[in-house]
């Protein structure tokens, strides 16, 4: 039977084959490549997953941590040393300048009626004199404060409370840091027999001489039996007795004692210098620039 549209069967087939594809028309989906258990035997295997990194041994971590800790501790120690040696010296130097100016201004004022300047009541923390030691430098001068706590010693040499005042019978005992805080007694071990130690007060100069034999340089050969230099334990306080090393005796003269730590960078012992007053007080009105002992070669 013929086609009702009037097209022979062959013609319809050929017409369908000539219909073009539309732009954007979907194509048949491509099946995903089989993997794992579904992969064909002749297909290559995938690359294996990377193995996790090996864990660091415990001992190696401990060693590295210890090394870092030691380096940090070393840096902290270095900073502390720099602070103690240089920063505190600078700060104490600034404070000494301030104390010197304050003391000069105080001394320039007339004393109260009936009061001698050198007999003024001294309280803890007060500045009352200037220590000069030519052996430690032509310009060596340190303001002395009353008291020997760290508050005073961080500013300069301190006077042991209860010991004699300059020029009085007994023992003028002064303490000072060896290293840091201005290092006032850093080179105290360089003192020689006969070296002058001069104390300046409001209206007088007092010259003390280191004990020993100046002719031989022997610090242990003073006729008094008191050594010019000695090393003692911190508990040996007889060195600041009215007569040095004789705690039970009355003063046999006018002495001056300097104490500091020994050796350097240690407080294990104390370095002691003993001196005796030479003559009497010298008036500053007659010697405004200082006694001759300050200018000895």
Asked if residue 208 has pLDDT above 60, the reply is yes
pLDDT digits (tens, 9 = 90+) for 264-291: 999 999 999 999 999 999 999 999 999 9
> What is the spatial distance between Cα 196 and Cα 228, in angstroms, rounded to a whole number?
12
Least confidently predicted of 19-28, 44-53, 270-279: 19-28
Q: Return the domain boundaries, the chain.
A: 80-107+124-295
What are the tens digits of pLDDT across the range 148-199? Answer: 999 999 999 999 999 999 999 999 999 999 999 999 999 999 999 999 999 9
Find, among 204, 192, 66, 57, the residue nearest to 128 by Cα.
204
Q: Which two tokens stand for residue 75?
A: 């840096």
What pLDDT score does 104 carry?
96
pLDDT, mean of residues 35-45: 51
The answer on pLDDT for 132 being more than 90 is yes
CA distance to 91, 116, 193, 264, 288, per residue, from 110 (Å): 31, 10, 38, 42, 17
CATH class of the domain defined by 80-107+124-295: mainly beta
Residue 294 pLDDT more than 90? yes
Q: Is it the case that residue 229 has pLDDT exceeding 60? A: yes
Task: Indicate whether 26 pLDDT > 80.
Answer: no
- pLDDT on residue 16: 44
């Amino acid at each position: 039977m013929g086609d009702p549209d009037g097209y022979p069967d062959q013609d319809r087939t050929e017409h369908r084959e000539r219909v073009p594809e539309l732009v954007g028309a979907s194509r048949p989906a491509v099946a995903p490549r089989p993997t794992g258990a579904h992969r064909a035997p002749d297909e290559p295997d995938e690359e294996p997953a990377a193995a996790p990194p090996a864990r660091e041994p415990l001992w190696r971590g401990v060693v590295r941590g210890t090394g870092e800790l030691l380096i940090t501790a070393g840096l902290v120690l270095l900073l502390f040393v720099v602070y103690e040696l240089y920063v505190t010296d600078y700060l104490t130097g600034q404070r000494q300048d301030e104390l010197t100016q304050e003391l000069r201004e105080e001394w320039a004022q007339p004393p109260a009626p009936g009061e001698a300047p050198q007999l003024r009541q001294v309280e803890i923390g007060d500045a009352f004199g200037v220590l000069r030691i030519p052996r430690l430098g032509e310009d060596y001068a340190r303001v002395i404060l009353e008291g020997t706590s760290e508050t005073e010693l961080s500013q300069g040499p301190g006077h042991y409370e209860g010991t004699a005042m300059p020029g009085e019978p007994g023992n003028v005992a002064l303490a000072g840091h060896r290293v840091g805080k201005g290092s006032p007694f850093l080179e105290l071990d360089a003192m020689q027999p006969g070296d002058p130690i001069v104390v300046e007060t409001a209206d007088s100069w007092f010259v003390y001489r280191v004990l020993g034999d100046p002719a031989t340089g022997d610090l242990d050969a003073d006729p008094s039996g008191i050594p010019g230099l000695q090393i003692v334990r911190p508990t040996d306080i007889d060195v600041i007795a009215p007569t040095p090393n004789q705690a039970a005796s009355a003063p046999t003269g006018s002495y001056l004692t300097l104490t500091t730590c020994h050796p350097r960078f240690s407080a294990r012992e104390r370095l002691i210098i003993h001196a005796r007053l030479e003559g009497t007080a010298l008036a500053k009105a007659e010697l405004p620039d200082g006694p001759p002992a300050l200018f000895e070669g």
